Amino acid sequence: MDIQTPIELIDPAEALRRQRAGAVIVDVRETHERATGFAAGALGIAKAELEADPGAVLPDRDATVLLICQSGKRSLSAAEALRAAGYRRVVSIEGGTTRWIAEGLPVERDEANFDFYDRYSRHLRLPEVGEAGQRRLQAARIAMVGAGGLGSPAAFYLAAAGVGTLVLADDDIVDRSNLQRQILHTEQRIGVPKVESARIALAALNPTVAIEAFPERITADNVERLIEGADVVIDGADNFPVRYLLNDACVKLGKPLVYGAVHRFEGQVSVFDAGRQRGHAPCYRCLFPEPPPPEAAPNCAEAGVLGVLPGVIGLLQATEAIKLVLGLGEPLTGRLLHFDALGMRFRETRLSADPECPVCAAGRAFPGYIDYVRFCAA
């Protein structure tokens, strides 16, 4: 073939005819793209791999090679690269796999991995995530205390993202007043334990995620059992005793804690990672050495809360958890993010580790758990 002539373009029907006559079809898409369906009998070799060492997979430079991708652009580029490498009979299939499938030609797909590649295809297209990152999410275990206002959006999006195991702890049952903001739950599940209601909703969204439900109140006796195997812990609690308990347990066990809180029209998010970064990253006690008096911090039942506000804060918590699992970006460690819904403004406060913190100070032994209810009521 004259190297100056354009690459031959053929339609899928002609490609199938030539394949049956002995030509080889090479699908140059990525693995996750091919898993959702490819031309029957095609060899799957990603474009970059093919161009790096074509002789390893196509030793005969005189063979007829039909290249296919999703729409025809990558296959044409790959054909030009192969011809430059000495292949004389390379052809690009116009319309690619999209047209091949639309015309009803024979298709195969990777049934064993189809759900994974199809469900997470948008993550797989992100170079920062890719298959390796998605597999890390699949292997991750995230513990969440609270299946209410913050836990609902966070759990929904973590399940959608493919976190392998979600541990949910909440001893409450679904009440009609929850439905204004706690989107895991429905009218039909009023009176059902929240963790069971959450399990039903999350399994319907993504049945591949394992849900471990604990209808228990978090105490010093069970907190380590609930979070010890977690990669990340999410604080979706609505009271100070649980927040201090979670903080202390995460410092002791070296777990990153994604904190969130809402009040009326405002919310806060941060990441407390003092257990793994003693003396460098702050913990919750560094921010709040002592709890505010009850009259200064009423809960949602007392003060009310804008229904969408926990959605914003819970999604920020889920985002931080995913970043921590993937090792992406800059987590909110050492930063407290404030959100004002009425002004639609975010502002950030820098946080420092307290060198005298009774729990996370560098070199300080864990002091043990305390009576957190009494501590917060004092």
Indicate which CATH number applies to the domain containing 51.
3.40.250.10
User: Are residues 190 and 304 part of one domain?
Assistant: yes
Residue 47 lies in a domain: yes
pLDDT of residue 138: 98
Q: Is the pLDDT of residue 349 over 90?
A: yes
User: Are residues 360 and 337 part of one domain?
Assistant: yes
Task: Please write the tens of the pLDDT for every residue from 258-276.
Answer: 999 999 999 999 999 999 9
For the purposes of burial, counting CB atoms within 10 Å of the CB of 227, is it exposed (0-12), middle (13-18) or buried (19 or more)? buried
Residue 16 lies in a domain: yes
Task: Give mean pLDDT, residues 126-149.
Answer: 96
The tally of domains found in the chain comes to 2
Task: Please write the tens of the pLDDT for every residue from 189-232.
Answer: 999 999 999 999 999 999 999 999 999 999 999 999 999 999 99
User: Are residues 220 and 84 part of one domain?
Assistant: no
pLDDT of residue 36: 83
Residue 2 lies in a domain: no
User: Are residues 289 and 155 part of one domain?
Assistant: yes
Residue 307 lies in a domain: yes
Question: What is the C-alpha separation between 21 and 221, in angstroms, rounded?
Answer: 71
- Using only C-alpha atoms, what is the Rg of the chain? 27
User: Are residues 135 and 63 part of one domain?
Assistant: no
pLDDT above 70 covers a percentage of the chain that reads 96
User: Are residues 363 and 331 part of one domain?
Assistant: yes
- Given 84, 119, 154, the domain boundary residue is 119
User: Are residues 279 and 188 part of one domain?
Assistant: yes
Q: Is the pLDDT of residue 33 over 80?
A: yes
Structure tokens at 283: 């913990």
Calculate the average pLDDT of the chain: 94
How far is the CA of 142 from the CAs of 42, 166, 188, 217, in angstroms? 40, 5, 27, 18
Residue 349 lies in a domain: yes
User: Are residues 256 and 141 part of one domain?
Assistant: yes
Residue 333, CA atoms < 13 Å, CB-side half-sphere = 21
Out of 177-186, 287-296, 364-373, which region has the weakest mean confidence (pLDDT)? 287-296
- Given 119, 144, 159, the domain boundary residue is 119
pLDDT of residue 292: 77
User: 81-87: long-range contacts (C-beta < 8 A, 24 or more apart)?
Assistant: 81/50, 81/51, 81/54, 82/50, 82/51, 82/54, 82/58, 83/1, 83/3, 83/7, 84/3, 85/51, 85/54, 85/55, 85/61, 86/61, 87/54, 87/58, 87/61, 87/63
The predicted model scores a pTM of 0.86
pLDDT of residue 296: 59
User: Are residues 91 and 169 part of one domain?
Assistant: no
Supply the range of the domain harboring residue 63.
8-119
Residue 296 lies in a domain: yes
User: Are residues 183 and 141 part of one domain?
Assistant: yes
pLDDT of residue 235: 97
User: Are residues 100 and 137 part of one domain?
Assistant: no
**pLDDT-derived band at 19, boundaries 50, 70, 90:** very high
> Hey, is 37 helix, strand or coil?
coil
Q: Is the pLDDT of residue 2 over 60?
A: no
- Given 95, 119, 143, the domain boundary residue is 119
Residue 141, CA atoms < 13 Å, CB-side half-sphere = 9
Task: Give mean pLDDT, residues 238-259.
Answer: 96
CATH code (residue 290): 3.40.50.720
Q: Is the pLDDT of residue 1 over 50?
A: no
**pLDDT-derived band at 314, boundaries 50, 70, 90:** very high
**pLDDT-derived band at 4, boundaries 50, 70, 90:** low
DSSP secondary structure string for all residues of 275-291? TTSTTTS--HHHH-SSP
Residue 303 lies in a domain: yes
Q: Is the pLDDT of residue 153 over 50?
A: yes
Residue 173: Cβ within 10 Å count: 17
Question: What is the C-alpha separation between 154 and 181, in angstroms, rounded?
Answer: 12
In 3D, which of 217, 125, 112, 123 has the Cα closest to residue 163?
Answer: 123
In 3D, which of 145, 152, 78 has the Cα closest to residue 314?
Answer: 152
Residue 1 lies in a domain: no
Task: Please write the tens of the pLDDT for every residue from 113-124.
Answer: 889 999 999 999
Question: What is the C-alpha separation between 290 and 268, in angstroms, rounded?
Answer: 17
The residues that are catalytic are: 300
User: Are residues 290 and 249 part of one domain?
Assistant: yes
Task: Please write the tens of the pLDDT for every residue from 73-98.
Answer: 999 999 999 999 999 999 999 999 99
pLDDT of residue 303: 77
